[in-house]
Structure formats: C-alpha cells, structure tokens
Amino acid sequence: MAGENLTKLKIDNVYKEYQGRNGKTIALNGVSLDIKENEFICVVGPSGCGKSTLLNIIAGLLEPTSGTVTLDGKVIEGTGVERGVVFQQYALFPWRTVLKNVMFPLEMKKVPKAEAEAIARKYIKSVGLEGFEKSYPKELSGGMKQRVAIARAYAADPEVLLLDEPFGALDAQTRVQLQSELLETWEKEKKTCFFITHDVDEAVILAQRVIIMSARPGRIKKIVDIDIPYPRTQATKTDPRFLELKSEIWNQVYQEFLEVRK
C-alpha cells in the first residue's frame, strides 16, 4: 500500500522534567522514535519510567521540556481530533448513555446527528455492546465500560490511537477478549497505534514493534521487531517464536525493574 512506510509520528529527542514538591524529576531523557503510518507500537518498561508522560506529550496533554513530536511533519501543539486517547480508567461521561458517549467526539466534529448516531451504533456493535446503547456507564461492568471507551475512540476515526494501559484494570478473560477484538479491528481498519502495557504477553501479541524503556529517567533501551505474521490469535501465544520474543523482552524489562529496586 502506498504510504505504508511513511513516518506518521516523529518523536525527536524529547526531554521532560517535572518540578514537584520534592524537587526536579527527570521523566524522559532524550527519547527519539519514528512511528510509521498504520504501525502498531507497544511500549513496555518499569513503573515510573515515563511511559504515560510520553503518551501524554504525544496526545498534546503535556508539553515536553525540550524536543518535539511531529505528526505528518507538523509539530504537535495541544490536543487534536486526529489523535484519540484511551486511558486505563474508563473516562466516560457518567450522565451520558453508551450511545451518547460514543457520539460525543462526532458531535465535537459537528457530524450531522443521524450520521453520528449511525457511526456510533456501528462501533458499539463492533465491540459487542449492541443492546446497551441506552445504558449508563454505572450500569456496565469494567470491561463493558472499556469497550465503550474503545468504541468512542474508533468512532472519532483518529489517525493515531494512543492507549495507556487500556486493559490494565480488567480480569484476565476480559483482557484477552479485548485484545482479540482490538487486533481484529486494527487488521480491518488500520490505524497508527501507540499502546502502553505492563504485560509483555499483551505487547507481543499486539505489536509490530515493542519499545522497551529503561528505568527512570526514561530512555529507549531496545526496540524488538515482532516478526510474527497477522492475523494473530490467542493460539499465537503458544507459537515457539512468540515464546522466544516474550522471554527476550521479559528479561530486558526485568533488568530495568531491578534497576528501580536498587
């Protein structure tokens, strides 16, 4: 496909320090990465290494202290509809129904109501929530709420999807199911995905490249190409190559975890 190898997002020497009550914290210390159009990237690394900081900078919710992030060659300034974010804790509007939650970004984009509703219904169905359009978030389980958040992100049709441990709070079964659904959706409607996870299994099953970050201050320690063809299913997790890559990445992450504990 044309454009397949174009750089979509360019992270260029991003440095971020926070000024906290206990002084200065360097969260990111020179992170550079080129992410290609439609690429699926997973980021792993020990707690506190700056993963969320990096995602929030790409989302435009935080500014880097120095360095830049460019999208299609344009420096990112603030948030934008072309970048959709899914957080670990389902950030839904409690006073809006499922349908109205998913329609929200379309309202922001001023999509005509009937069209917005049709798009929202399509994505609600694709995440398996048909029949729950009129429910409120409080009437849903954690996994269902996370499905709504994902449907909403997809309905907005962003060019880049930024996901910060979106399945972190879920039970193992729901997590595996949502991984499969996300894979299927990504294979159908390619998007550039930047997905943070603590779970090495999850990173290897989803990603084309896994970015391993070092302990704080966060830098990129290693990039591992996941040379396992798609479609991938849960059965892929027993593939010898899968197990090999998983143990390689796990060892690297564990070394960094030990650094934190020192």
Ligand X SMILES: Nc1ncnc2c1ncn2[C@@H]1O[C@H](COP(=O)(O)OP(=O)(O)OP(=O)(O)O)[C@@H](O)[C@H]1O
* Contact set with ligand X (CB under 6 A): 18, 20, 25, 27, 45, 47-53, 216
Q: Under a CB-based contact definition with an 8 Å cutoff, are residues 222 and 212 in contact? A: yes
Closer by beta carbon to Mg ion, 52 or else 192: 52
Helices (H), the chain: 51-59, 98-108, 113-126, 142-155, 172-188, 200-206, 240-261
Assess 197 for contact with Mg ion (CB under 5 A). Answer: no
232 binds, among Mg ion, ligand X, none (CB under 5 to 8 A by kind): none
Assess 56 for contact with Mg ion (CB under 5 A). Answer: no
Assess 52 for contact with Mg ion (CB under 5 A). Answer: yes
Closest distance of CB 48 from Mg ion, Å? 8
Q: Which residue is nearest to Mg ion (CB)?
A: 52
Work out the end-to-end distance of the chain between its first and last CA atoms, rounded to an integer number of angstroms: 47
Closest distance of CB 88 from Mg ion, Å? 8
Q: Give the number of C-alpha atoms closer than 13 A to the C-alpha of residue 86, restricted to the C-beta side.
A: 28
Closest distance of CB 56 from Mg ion, Å? 9
Closest distance of CB 8 from ligand X, Å? 22
Closer by beta carbon to Mg ion, 27 or else 226: 27
Closest distance of CB 57 from ligand X, Å? 9
- Written as six digits, the tokens of 199 are 């779970």
The 10 Å Cβ neighbour count of residue 248 is 16
- Amino acid identity for residue 135 in this structure: S
Q: What is the DSSP string of 42-97?
A: EEE--TTSSHHHHHHHHHTSS--SEEEEEETTEE--S--TTEEEE-SS----TTS-
49 binds, among Mg ion, ligand X, none (CB under 5 to 8 A by kind): ligand X
Closer by beta carbon to ligand X, 100 or else 198: 198
Closest distance of CB 20 from ligand X, Å? 4
Assess 38 for contact with Mg ion (CB under 5 A). Answer: no
Closest CA to 38 of 230, 242, 229, 208: 208
- Written as six digits, the tokens of 17 are 């320090």
191 binds, among ligand X, Mg ion, none (CB under 5 to 8 A by kind): none
Q: Report the interface residues with Mg ion, using CB under 5 A.
A: 52
